[in-house]
Amino acid sequence: MSKSKTQTKNNEQENEASTTLIGWARRSRAGGALKLSLHTEAVTNCHSYTTADGTAYVPLIISIAALRRVLDGDQAVTTISQFEEN
């Protein structure tokens, strides 16, 4: 059973309401790579976590459904976001 476009759109809007835009993902013109463009100030302002070995990471998210549409050529770009901490 597949979701209707309205249900999918509502779910995407709910997810976006609790995220901060960090950048964009698009397919390269040759189609063999995924290009990520991150806003440097937005990344600097992101929350991060540190692993036991002292390495810091910034957790980001991309919708798998939207990424699939980009890779299939049905959509030009999709967002890269971070969940907002409350």
Backbone angles phi, psi at 64, to 5 degrees: -65, -40
pTM as predicted: 0.74
**Each residue of 2-46: pLDDT tens digit?**
444 544 554 555 544 599 999 999 999 888 999 999 999 999 999
15: left (phi over 0), alpha (psi -120 to 50) or beta: alpha
pLDDT at 1 over 60: no
**Measured distance CA(5)–CA(12) in Å, rounded:** 10
Mean pLDDT to the nearest integer, 46-50 = 97
Looking at the 3D structure of the chain, how many domains does it have? Answer: 1
CA atoms of 35 and 81, how far apart (whole Å): 15
Where in the sequence is the domain holding 54, given as residue range(s)?
A: 5-83
Nearest to 85 by CA among 52, 49, 41: 49
Q: Once rounded to an integer, what is the mean pLDDT over residues 53-76?
A: 96
Residue 21: what pLDDT?
A: 97
For residue 59 the two structure tokens come to: 């957790």
